[in-house]
Amino acid sequence: MTDYHPMWKELGMDLETHDLLCDALPAAFGDTYLSQENRPENMAFYDYVVSGIHGIRPAELIEMQKEGRKVFGTFCVYVPDEIVVACDGAVTGLCGGSQFWVPDGEKYVPADTCPLIKASLGAHFGKTCPYFMVSDLYVGETTCDGKKKAYEILGADKETYIMDMPQMKREQDVVKWKDEIAAFAQKVEETTGVALTVERLANAIDVINAKRAAIARVYDARKADPVPISGKDTLLMTQISFFDDPVRCAEMANKLADELEQRIADGVGVFPKGTKRIMITGTPMAIPNWKLHHIVETSGGAVVCEDMCTGTRYFENQVDNSGTTLEDQFMALSKRYMMNNCACFTPNPGRIEDIIRHAKEYNVDGVIDCNLKFCTIYNIEKPSVAKALADEGIPCLSLETDYADNDAQQLRTRVGAFIEMLGLK
């Protein structure tokens, strides 16, 4: 067995507490993932990554650092990976998805802060996540209020660069985001010591576009009935994409998509044809947050689409790579990223349009709109989401949850009743 303790010690991690976290993973992963029937063979790569989640990729990142390359920890899909990749850096997504980290986070922010923020702070300050420890720089963004304040707290302990996100989507906001991307590029150049060129950025745009295209193929396969892959497995693939090497990520997603396309041709699915098709929208689901997907898929439903940042927003829309100057390229990046319809924007009609479009494209029977507790912005959008779906005749269940286990039974009851109701339609 590769013993990662020396590496974790070197990173300054709290080994004793970290061992407790490692304790929980095998059973949770077994119950959630290995209990599934007829999984695609190409999920083996993702099982492998999870099995060595705190060892394999962090070890690669450390090797990169030995070559003088830098690791950027990010918390939002608005931060353009292309800039970092162009300067030979690596991006690792840092949003915390485990209840394990929440108590440590509550030492730094009020308990009525969303669990994603608390878990992220807990992972940093508790020194129990190698991805936080290995990051040379955190990159935050001015999205929701909780995150803005959390970055001040993180920034007091590790260098944290903040990108100032527009709050609206007017012409001038796209220009503003372009300027923010240009300023970020300067910071990345300073940090990595690599000068950004048009050629470097064009290559990086190609790399990330290829990754998006590969993930899109996996999602496209989910439009079939019977669906060839579970929602849980797709979610895992997406979650891992946030910290894996982007070239390998595309390669693995393409392999998985090949298999899924073959399954569709052969009429092979993971649930019987006609299983109620559920789309989930709302707050993102950072690894290892698998709770809602697992509950849906063990209650008679199949999750066929996630309209969220750990879902469609991560891969939809390619960056136009025809620019011949850095200015052109920054603008192309801004245009693509500004197409993401996060609830932090006002007004935000694009999110509703996306939800309706996805519900139709993936032929869903019902939508679950779920936000993490204390996430005000997504919670407030719920009535307008429900109304838009009702206007289209698509049933919607609104839920709120966190990372703890104790509401699972109640969620099972509500999700079970919802799926049963869909069957009566």
Residue 288 found at the interface with another protein (CB under 8 A): yes
Read off the tokens for 11. 């990173």
* 354-384 burial: b if 16+ Cβ within 10 Å, else e: bbbebbebbebbbbbbbbbbbbebbbebbee
Residue 317 found at the interface with another protein (CB under 8 A): no
Residue 63: CB minimum distance to another protein, A: 14
φ/ψ of 396, rounded to 5, equals -135, 135
Query: Do 96 and 119 form a contact (C-beta atoms < 8 A)?
Result: yes
Q: Give the 3-state secondary structure of residue 136.
A: coil
Query: Do 62 and 9 form a contact (C-beta atoms < 8 A)?
Result: no
In sequence order, what are the residues at sequence separation of 6 or more whose Cβ sits closer than 8 angstroms to the Cβ of residue 348?
A: 341, 342, 381
Residue 117: CB minimum distance to ligand SF4, A: 5
- Chain positions 6 to 45 lying near another protein, rule: CB under 8 A, are 18-19, 21-32, 34-35, 39, 41, 44
Count residues near another protein (CB under 8 A): 48
Give 112 or 392: the residue with its C-beta nearer to ligand SF4.
Answer: 112
**Among ligand SF4, another protein, none, residue 143 binds (CB under 5-8 Å by kind):** ligand SF4
Give 139 or 302: the residue with its C-beta nearer to ligand SF4.
Answer: 139
Residue 100: CB minimum distance to another protein, A: 6
**Among another protein, ligand SF4, none, residue 77 binds (CB under 5-8 Å by kind):** ligand SF4
Residue 247 found at the interface with another protein (CB under 8 A): no
**Among ligand SF4, another protein, none, residue 117 binds (CB under 5-8 Å by kind):** ligand SF4
Q: Give the 3-state secondary structure of residue 233.
A: helix
- 305 vs 188: CA distance, rounded Å: 34
Give 70 or 147: the residue with its C-beta nearer to ligand SF4.
Answer: 147
Give 200 or 232: the residue with its C-beta nearer to another protein.
Answer: 232
Residue (of 339, 271, 267) closest to 301 by Cα position: 271
Query: Rg for the chain (alpha carbons), in Å?
Result: 21
Residue 100 found at the interface with another protein (CB under 8 A): yes
- By CB under 8 A, name the one of 5, 357, 360, 387 that touches another protein: 5
Residue 10: CB minimum distance to another protein, A: 15
The CA angle 109-75-311, to the nearest 5 degrees, is: 120
Query: Do 400 and 379 form a contact (C-beta atoms < 8 A)?
Result: yes
Give the DSSP per-residue string, 257-270. Answer: HHHHHHHHHHT--S
Residue 149: CB minimum distance to ligand SF4, A: 10
**Among ligand SF4, another protein, none, residue 52 binds (CB under 5-8 Å by kind):** another protein
Query: Do 226 and 275 form a contact (C-beta atoms < 8 A)?
Result: yes
Residues binding ligand SF4 (CB under 6 A): 76-78, 114, 116-117, 143-144, 146-147, 283-284, 309, 340, 342, 344, 372, 375, 377-378
* 149-164 burial: b if 16+ Cβ within 10 Å, else e: ebbebbeeeeebbbbe
Residue 48: CB minimum distance to another protein, A: 5
Residue 127 found at the interface with another protein (CB under 8 A): no
Give 242 or 337: the residue with its C-beta nearer to another protein.
Answer: 242
Q: Give the 3-state secondary structure of residue 196.
A: coil
Q: Give the 3-state secondary structure of residue 242.
A: coil
Beta bridge pairs of residue 369 = 281, 398
Dmax (CA) of the chain: 62
- Chain positions 51 to 80 lying near another protein, rule: CB under 8 A, are 51-56
Identify residue 188 by its one-letter amino acid code.
V
**Among ligand SF4, another protein, none, residue 380 binds (CB under 5-8 Å by kind):** none
Stretch that binds another protein, among 74-82, 93-101, 108-116, 182-190 (CB under 8 A): 93-101
Residues forming contacts to another protein in the complex (CB under 8 A) are 1-5, 18-19, 21-32, 34-35, 39, 41, 44, 47-48, 50-56, 98-100, 288-291, 294-295, 298, 403, 405, 408-409, 412
